C-alpha cells in the first residue's frame, strides 16, 4: 500500500494504491464516510488493463479506480488473493451512482473478469448531452468533458496509457494518470447530476 498526493489545478487529491484484499474493508468504509448526510452518492469510476500486443485473449482488468471528493483509491485487482466482499457490496449498492467515460464497457469487463457487478452507473458523455441539450457531447473524451463541464484543463499522455498496468509497483506517472481519470469523472458527474 502506498499513499500519494496528486494536485490537479490547485486541488490536492489523496490517492492510495492497494494490492491486498485485507486492506479494502477500511478503504471502502472511508469512501462511504464522505456520503454522510448527503442524498446524492456519486463515485468517480474507471478501470485500466494492460494493452494487448498481439491477438488472442484480452488481458484482465489490472486496476479499479474509485474517487469521492478528494479521496481516490486504486485497487490492483490482479494481486488480490480473494475478492473483497465489502468492495462487491459497495459496487452493487443501488444508492450509489458510479460515473465515468466509457463506463458501460468498463463495467461489463469488470464483471467478466472478476464477477464484480456495478449496479448503477452513468455514462458521462450521454449525461452531458442530456443536460446541455447537445448530442455532440456523447462522443466527447474525458479531457473534452473536463474542459466543457467543470473548466479543468487536464493532460493524459498516451505514453502513460501504454505502460504496463500489470506491474505491482506503479510509477508516479501511472498513479497520477489513474487519479486524474477517477477524480475528474467524479467532478463532472457531481456537477451534471445536480441538474436532476
Please give the sequence-ordered ranges of beta strands (E in DSSP) within the chain, or none if there are none. Answer: 2-8, 11-18, 42-49, 61-68, 71-76, 97-100, 121-123
> Each residue of 6-21: b (16+ CB within 10 Å) or e?
bebeeeebebbbbbeb
| Mean pLDDT, rounded, for 15-32 | 91
Output the pLDDT for position 65.
98
Sign of CA dihedral 68, 59, 169, 11: negative
Instruction: Please give the mean pLDDT across all residues of the chain.
Output: 92
Output the pLDDT for position 171.
93
pLDDT digit string, tens, across residues 101-135: 999 999 999 999 999 999 999 999 999 999 999 99
The domain of 63 spans 2-193
| Mean pLDDT, rounded, for 55-59 | 74
pLDDT higher for 36 or 92? 92
Output the pLDDT for position 35.
85
Distance of CA 41 to the CA centre of its chain: 14
How many domains is the chain partitioned into structurally? 1
Helix (H, G, I), strand (E, B) or coil at 107: helix
pTM of the predicted protein model: 0.93
- Report the CATH number at residue 159: 3.30.420.10
- Using the predicted structure, report yes or no on whether residue 45 has a pLDDT greater than 80: yes
Amino acid at each position: 500500500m502506498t499513499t500519494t498526493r496528486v494536485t490537479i489545478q490547485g486541488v490536492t487529491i489523496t490517492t492510495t494504491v492497494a494490492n491486498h484484499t485485507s486492506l479494502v474493508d477500511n478503504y471502502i468504509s472511508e469512501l462511504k464516510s464522505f456520503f454522510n448526510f448527503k442524498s446524492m452518492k456519486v463515485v468517480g469510476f474507471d478501470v485500466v488493463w494492460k494493452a494487448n500486443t498481439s491477438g488472442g485473449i484480452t488481458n484482465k482488468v489490472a486496476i479499479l479506480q474509485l474517487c469521492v471528493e478528494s479521496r481516490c483509491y486504486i485497487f490492483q485487482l490482479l494481486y488480490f488473493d480473494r475478492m473483497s466482499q465489502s468492495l462487491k457490496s459497495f459496487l452493487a449498492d443501488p444508492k450509489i451512482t458510479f460515473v465515468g467515460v466509457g463506463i458501460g464497457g468498463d463495467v461489463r469487463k469488470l464483471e467478466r473478469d472478476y464477477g464484480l457487478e456495478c449496479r448503477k452507473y452513468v455514462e458521462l458523455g450521454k449525461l452531458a448531452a442530456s443536460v446541455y441539450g447537445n448530442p455532440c457531447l456523447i462522443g466527447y473524451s474525458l479531457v473534452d468533458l473536463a474542459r466543457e463541464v467543470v473548466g479543468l484543463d487536464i493532460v493524459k499522455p498516451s505514453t502513460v496509457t501504454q505502460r504496463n498496468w500489470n506491474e505491482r509497483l506503479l510509477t508516479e506517472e501511472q498513479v497520477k494518470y489513474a487519479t486524474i481519470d477517477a477524480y475528474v469523472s467524479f467532478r463532472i458527474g457531481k456537477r451534471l447530476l445536480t441538474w436532476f
